[in-house]
Amino acid sequence: MRKKRNHFLLLVPYLTVSILPLVLFFAKGIQSLINSETVKTMQLMDQRVIVLLLKTIFYSFSVAFLVLVAGTFIGIGLMSMHKAYRKFFMGLLILLIPLPITIHSLIWMNIFSRFQWMPLTGWGISVLVQTVAWLPLGTLIIYDAMTKIPKGLIEVGQLFSNDLKVFFKIWLPQSKTGMKIVTLGVFLMTFNDYSVPSTFAVTTFPMEIFASYSISLNAGDAMITSLPMVFLGFGLALPLMNSIKKQFFSGPSTRDDTFIQEIALLNKYLSKITMLIILLIIVLPLIALFQNTRFSSFSLMNDGGYEILATLWICFGGGLLALPIMILAALFIVHHNNRHSFILLLILLPTLISPALIGAALIHLMNRPIFREIYLSHLMGMLAVMIRFMPFGVLVIVAGLKRIPEDYMAVGYMTVKNYKKPLTRILLPLAIPSIVIATGMVFLLGIGELGTSVMVLPPGISTITVRIFGYLHYGATELIAEVSIVVIAIIFIIEFVLYILIRKGFKSLRIGGRYDSSK
Amino acid sequence: MIRLSKVSKYYKAGFPIHDFSYTFENNKKYVISGPSGCGKTTLLRLIAGLDSLDAGEIYRGETLIGKVDYQLHPSKRSIGMVFQKPTLWPHMTVRENIEFGSKVSEVNEIASTLKIHDILDKYPDEISGGESKRVALARMMVLKWRYLLLDEPLTNIDSELKSEIVSFIHRYVEKNNTTLIYVTHHEKEASMIEGKRILF
């Protein structure tokens, strides 16, 4: 009798690339801690570190809360817009998602520097930059949740109450999954990031890991330092995972974003205010950035041309190498129908811990003679991009696969006697848009990768984000404004190409397909 | 034959089947009828291997094909099924949908029988609901099945065409010695099939 196959092999490439370095690093850390004085005397954290930890938690919570409030407001505003405007403004928000956080830092540094009374360092500007950086993604996730509510729930409510009450009593509470994802996700991302705080002379907890490993290269020290972050990450992972499953892995869904347009009070003002906010967070900073450049001095090759090419190569390589690994991991998750929460937790692990820790783990694994060629090459950057952003790509592909009605494959399996044809002729063609988005996402997010790259890139190799980060510590100069404009242009062009590919190219080739529930 | 022994299937929010036993003999026709939501479709999905069992066993002949923790893959059961919804692959033309599982091209013959010959090169989103149902029937019935499960196959189809399709189903079943399990909640449709009635 043939037992159900586990298909565990599908997961091996992902675990090898993303999880193995971390496991080995932690194993080494535990080994070096066994006889360590730190453990013997149980002095794991001193008072300074505890205060720093609490400060960082408060800082991250502030950012998460602001993104939640602003994202919900803009999400409602998007729903209240006319369809054509909504498409346009959502497009603008999508454009902003992959913008490197260093460029956000530069932009706001630029704006603040025009006003003498505005502080260029400190918690305030740091919270603002993080909030603006996460706002586009946060808004779109909340909007997604708000438009996925079954129409029936609203219609039943309308039998009893007026539209405004239905909105606040049914619609908003029903969107809480998306709000939970945004709050927990932004909290974790902010908590793990050290690049923005360090730019604005703010010390946060992840910098301790960066500092402790950079100084001693001791896995034990870095591990001990990172423990509170790891515990916090894992503690929040379960509710985050459940919310992600609920919102994105729940199969085909219908959307309804028309209801709010029937609420006159909201419809009258909200859409205009939202348009204004989106334009403010996009147009104003871009104008400020352009004003700070003189294109006559634009000597790209000298000012960062090499780094731009290196960045594109690293991100292209990272995206391409990640592609098969992400597809296999996504197939595993879909095949097991989300039953293994532990596996999903493993896949999300790199997003739950600090990029500095990933950097330390990669160095620990690769800094040995057998991997010398890799350690001194662009591959280190590619690995950093892959480890950090593959989890997002896997989630996107899983969501894409989940949208394909199960019966499509069931019919395929009935009519042919092998696995290959339904997989290659039905599942993969229908999943191509999500696969392309996932790969594009790894590529685009890779451009802004900093936390790990700054540690793992060998001497002589740098990405443009690392270079901008380095320059930022000397203030918002004209030079980095010019380079940043080029990076923004590259990101926008790639996003435009992806859009054309998905909306026009695939549609004409009928790849992807729309799922009509009546057919 | 297909033998179900004390089969149970429960859903959080669905139509349960509890301790159901029955034997579907070879070369016979069965019509399962009952009100909406009584578990007719669930039963077909269990037989086809699309859902797992919570209790009981399913045999094809003497071969165990399903029990708790064991499922013979749908492709290995020699059981065809036409779903309530047509589930046509949206990226393939009607012809490609029908040809998917067949090597010998009998597409034209079945297409003219089911009156879909003029839409063969269209995509699913370019045809009507009734045409989609007929394409779904054609896709499954272009192949020879030992067992064929039809779940409300005539919904959305014009009444004039219904009798033609029913006689086509009869011819198919006799020609291929197929065991037919036909699910419907329409009394008139059930009487057209002339099979053994099972009330759910």
ipTM confidence: 0.72
Which of B85, B102, B143 minimises the CB distance to A517? Answer: B85
Q: What's the confidence (pLDDT) of residue A45?
A: 66
CA atoms within 13 A on the CB side of A442: 36
Q: Which residue on chain B is closest to A4 by alpha carbon?
A: B70
Sign of CA dihedral B187, B188, B191, B195: negative
Q: Which residue on chain A is closest to B83 by alpha carbon?
A: A407
Question: How far off is chain B from A217, nearest CA to CA, in Å?
Answer: 49
Nearby residues of A324 by Cβ (< 8 Å), 6 or more positions away: A13
Q: Find, among A485, A437, A464, A453, the residue nearest to A386 by Cα.
A: A453
Q: Which residue on chain B is closest to A430 by alpha carbon?
A: B91
Is the confidence at residue B104, as pLDDT, over 60?
Answer: no
**Cβ pairs A/B, distance under 8 A:** 93
Q: Which residues of A touch B48 (CB under 8 A)?
A: 410, 414
Q: Do A4 and B102 touch (CB under 8 A)?
A: no
Say if residues B88 and B59 touch (Cβ distance below 8 Å).
Answer: no
Q: Which residues pair with A339 in a beta bridge?
A: none
Parallel, antiparallel, or unpaired: how do β-strands B179-184 and B147-151 relate?
Answer: parallel
Q: Which residues of B touch A518 (CB under 8 A)?
A: 85, 129, 132
Q: Do B124 and A519 touch (CB under 8 A)?
A: yes
Question: Quick check: B71 contacting A, CB < 8 Å?
Answer: yes
Q: What's the confidence (pLDDT) of residue A167?
A: 80
Q: What's the confidence (pLDDT) of residue A35?
A: 64
Say if residues A389 and A442 touch (Cβ distance below 8 Å).
Answer: yes
Question: Quick check: A1 contacting B, CB < 8 Å?
Answer: yes
What does residue A400 show for φ and ψ, rounded to 5 degrees?
-65, -45
Question: Quick check: A508 contacting B, CB < 8 Å?
Answer: no
Nearby residues of A48 by Cβ (< 8 Å), 6 or more positions away: none
pTM of the model: 0.79
Under DSSP, the state recorded for A169 is I
- Distance, CA of A191 to chain centre: 14
- Distance, CA of A11 to chain centre: 21
Q: Which residues of B touch A405 (CB under 8 A)?
A: 87
Question: How far off is chain B from A412, nearest CA to CA, in Å?
Answer: 8
Q: What's the confidence (pLDDT) of residue A241?
A: 84
Which of B74, B125, B127 minimises the CB distance to A410? Answer: B74
Residue with the larger pLDDT of the pair A139 and B102? A139
What is the pLDDT averaged over residues B141-153?
91
Per-residue pLDDT band for B116 (boundaries 50, 70, 90) equals very high
Q: Do B85 and A407 touch (CB under 8 A)?
A: yes
Rounded to whole angstroms, how far apart are CA atoms B200 and B188?
17
Rounded to whole angstroms, how far apart are CA atoms B21 and B4?
5
Rounded to whole angstroms, how far apart are CA atoms A27 and B22?
57
Question: Quick check: B90 contacting A, CB < 8 Å?
Answer: yes
User: Element (H or E) spanning B113, and its range?
Assistant: helix B107-113
Question: Quick check: B10 contacting A, CB < 8 Å?
Answer: no
Q: What's the confidence (pLDDT) of residue A3?
A: 45
3-state secondary structure A141-154: HHHHHHHCCCHHHH
Q: Which residue on chain A is closest to B127 by alpha carbon?
A: A519
What is the pLDDT averaged over residues B152-174?
86
How many C-beta atoms surround the C-beta of residue A149 within 10 A? 21
Rounded to whole angstroms, how far apart are CA atoms A15 and A2?
27
Rounded to whole angstroms, how far apart are CA atoms A262 and A272?
16
Q: What is the pLDDT of residues A51-68, one digit of tens each?
A: 888 999 999 999 999 999
Identify the residue among B60, B64, B87 best suited for mutation to test binding to A, counting A beta carbons within 10 A and taking the highest: B87
Q: Which residues of B touch A339 (CB under 8 A)?
A: none
Q: Looking only at Cα atoms, what is the longest distance across chain A?
A: 78
Q: Do B74 and A1 touch (CB under 8 A)?
A: no
Q: Tell me the CA end-to-end span of chain A in Å, nearest whole number.
A: 37
Q: H helices of A34-122, where?
A: 37-40, 47-80, 83-96, 101-112
Q: Which residues of B touch A429 (CB under 8 A)?
A: 91
Question: Quick check: B132 contacting A, CB < 8 Å?
Answer: yes
Which of A1, A4, A513 minimises the CB distance to B91? Answer: A513
User: Which of A217-226, A381-390, B1-10, B33-42 comes out lowest in average pLDDT?
Assistant: A217-226
Tell me the three state secondary structure of residue B71. strand
Q: Do A408 and B87 touch (CB under 8 A)?
A: yes
Rounded to whole angstroms, how far apart are CA atoms A455 and A213?
10
Question: How far off is chain A from B181, nearest CA to CA, in Å?
Answer: 16
Say if residues A426 and B89 touch (Cβ distance below 8 Å).
Answer: yes
Low-confidence ranges of chain A (pLDDT < 70): 1-6, 35-45, 151-152, 155-161, 250-268, 292-304, 337-340, 475-477, 504-519
Q: What's the confidence (pLDDT) of residue A266?
A: 66
Rounded to whole angstroms, how far apart are CA atoms A126 and A118?
13
